[in-house]
């Protein structure tokens, strides 16, 4: 077992993965309210100590032969599968998930490690034309210490997708997971990598709040910040990072649209749309937040989606604050004229899957990122209107277009600015070898996934020249 329930806290502290300057906090099961353990909350001095230690350990790690770094990541990928039962249990209990969601996170985590294991052997530069017969090259070198700040909703994936490639490329990492999911978003990653052979000092896991996050961003040892979270928090992270000349990669919120054209297979469209809105209680940045349906299919689409919502049993949202935010957006939209076709009620943290019909772009549940199991549905009459509605958002993360005419779908996607687009699918998709990121208020582009994006994110470019002899200069 990676962790024994009765002893995991002492392991957490004894290995230096967390510190308690900020006291401690409970890790709770949102489905039952049961306390699963307590985790130390890091403060600024803990972050400073971790960053110093990471900076001290990083050069030796970067200097290792590349097969040695790759071997650690490959072994980590195997270990996720070997310890799948224990990891799944923590994901289910910490995030209020169903078991298949845990299995999905484990599968992606393993693949992230396997993909990262291929990075150390990639070509790390290029030869450049140069004057005077000198050898000129551009080399990719490790950034040094990478700070990772990850959220609660898919804590394992949203941490490991930065931690694994950053380590593989020769960096050290300080990871600040959300304290509500500190085990599956931090401690388990540290334990897996320790068991895989990662040398001490290269990964520091420090659950914490805003003070720890700000300390990580401004620490002089930290050269790159990889942040996943809300757009409001991302704006603050980006501003603080810019002030301290720290490179920030921001994967932020979304209000993604599925566009159902008049030739769509309605059964498949409703099924895909329900998955896009209600998967993990809608607590996904890529969640389908707007359903734009051709007027000829609109009424039947709403009826079928509402029936499907009424038949679903979902898990809990993460906490009461998130539940209350969801409910306020739903009730405000109904007060503004939206029709409640399904849901709109809750019991404890269990919010019923909700369908809002006849929504307008100015209604709160349509215009905002709800981050809950809410499906606002609007209609359109032409492709021009569909493009205008889908593009009429500050967010630009994911897009789904459902049509029997694939080329028409591709042409429509070209008119809607997003970082991700899926023809004949909903908006929630993720693969470790694919670039991931959004535009506009959804972030700073593809900073995760795929070798090219990971190399760009976690290394610096260095120009190097070599001459056979020192040239003679005029003075």
| pLDDT tens by residue, 120-150 | 999 999 999 998 889 999 999 999 999 999 9
pTM over 0.85: yes
Instruction: Please name the residue ranges forming H helices in 394-450.
Output: 406-413
What parts of the chain have a pLDDT lower than 70? 3-20, 446
* All residues at 6 or more sequence positions from 433 whose CB lies less than 8 Å from its CB, including other chains: 111, 115, 449, 450, 451
C-alpha 118/C-alpha 428 separation (Å) is 26
What pLDDT, on the 0 to 100 scale, is given for residue 448? 79
Which of 389, 440, 386, 450 minimizes the C-alpha distance to 418?
440
CA distance 282 to 431: 19
Among candidate residues 368, 425, 433, 440, the one with its CA nearest the CA of residue 113: 433
Residues whose CB falls within 8 Å of the CB of residue 411, separated by 6 or more in sequence, listed in order: none
For residue 475, the 8-state DSSP code is -
Q: Looking at residue 21, what is its pLDDT? A: 76
Active-site annotation holds for 113: no
Please, is 23 exposed, middle or buried when counting C-beta atoms within 10 Å of its C-beta (0-12, 13-18, 19+)? Answer: exposed
Residues β-bridged to residue 120: none
pLDDT computed for residue 234 by the predictor: 96
112, 285, 385, 431: which is the annotated catalytic residue?
285
Q: Look at residues 140, 136, 36, 122 and name the one whose alpha carbon lies nearest to residue 462.
A: 140
User: In whole angstroms, what is the distance from residue 94 CA to residue 319 CA?
Assistant: 11
The pLDDT assigned to 133 comes to: 84
The reported pLDDT for the residue numbered 15 is: 38
Number of other CB atoms surrounding residue 324 within 10 Å: 13
Q: Does the CA dihedral 38-39-40-43 come out positive or negative?
A: negative
pLDDT attached to residue 14:
32
Which residues, including other chains, have CB under 8 Å from residue 178's CB and lie 6 or more apart? 150, 151, 152, 155, 185, 207
CA distance linking residue 212 with residue 88, whole number of Å: 28
The separation between CA 76 and the C-alpha centre of its own chain, rounded to angstroms, equals: 20
pLDDT of amino acid 16: 41
Concerning whether 285 is annotated as a catalytic residue, the answer is yes
Which residue in 105, 115, 194, 251 is the catalytic one? 251
Residue 222 sits at φ, ψ, to 5 deg, of -95, 120
Pairing of strands 145-149, 172-176: parallel
């Amino acid at each position: 077992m990676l962790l024994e329930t009765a002893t995991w806290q002492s392991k957490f502290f004894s290995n230096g993965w967390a510190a308690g300057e900020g006291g401690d906090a409970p890790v709770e099961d949102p489905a039952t309210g049961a306390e699963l353990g307590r985790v130390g909350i890091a403060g600024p001095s803990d972050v400073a100590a971790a960053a110093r230690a990471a900076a001290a350990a990083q050069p030796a790690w970067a200097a290792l032969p590349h097969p040695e770094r790759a071997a650690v990541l490959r072994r980590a990928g195997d270990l996720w599968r070997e310890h799948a039962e224990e990891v799944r249990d923590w994901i289910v209990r910490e995030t209020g998930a169903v078991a298949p969601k845990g299995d999905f996170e484990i599968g992606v985590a393993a693949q992230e490690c396997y993909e990262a294991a291929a990075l150390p052997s990639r070509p790390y530069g290029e030869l450049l034309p140069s004057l005077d017969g000198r050898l000129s090259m551009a080399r990719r070198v490790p950034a040094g210490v990478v700070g990772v700040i990850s959220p609660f909703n898919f804590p394992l994936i949203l941490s490991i997708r930065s931690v694994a490639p950053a380590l593989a490329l020769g960096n050290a990492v300080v990871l600040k997971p959300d304290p509500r999911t500190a085990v599956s978003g931090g401690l388990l990653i540290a334990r897996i990598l320790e068991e895989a052979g990662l040398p001490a000092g290269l990964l520091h896991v420090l659950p914490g709040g805003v003070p720890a996050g700000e300390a990580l961003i401004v620490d002089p040892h930290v050269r790159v910040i990889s942040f996943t979270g809300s757009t409001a928090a991302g704006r603050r992270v980006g501003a603080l990072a810019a002030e301290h000349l720290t490179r920030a990669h921001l994967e932020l919120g979304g209000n993604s649209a599925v566009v159902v054209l008049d030739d769509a297979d309605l059964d498949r469209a409703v099924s895909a749309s329900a998955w896009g809105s209600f998967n993990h209680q809608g607590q996904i940045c890529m969640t389908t937040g707007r359903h734009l349906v051709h007027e000829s299919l609109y009424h039947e689409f709403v009826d079928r989606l509402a029936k499907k919502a009424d038949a679903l049993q979902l898990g809990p949202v993460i906490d009461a604050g998130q539940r209350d935010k969801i409910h306020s957006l739903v009730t405000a939209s109904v007060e503004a004229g939206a029709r409640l076709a399904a849901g709109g009620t809750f019991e404890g943290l269990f919010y019923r899957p909700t369908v809002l019909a006849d929504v307008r772009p100015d209604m709160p549940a349509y215009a905002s990122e709800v981050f809950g199991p809410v499906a606002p549905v609007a209609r359109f009459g032409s492709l021009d209107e569909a493009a205008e509605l889908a593009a009429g958002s500050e967010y630009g993360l994911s897009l789904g277009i459902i049509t029997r005419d694939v080329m028409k779908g591709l042409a429509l996607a070209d008119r809607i600015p997003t970082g991700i687009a899926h023809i004949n699918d909903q908006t929630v998709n993720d693969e470790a070898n694919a670039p991931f990121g959004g535009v506009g208020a959804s972030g700073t582009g593809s900073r995760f996934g795929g070798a090219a994006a990971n190399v760009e994110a976690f290394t610096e470019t260095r120009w190097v020249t070599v001459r056979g002899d020192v040239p003679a200069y005029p003075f």
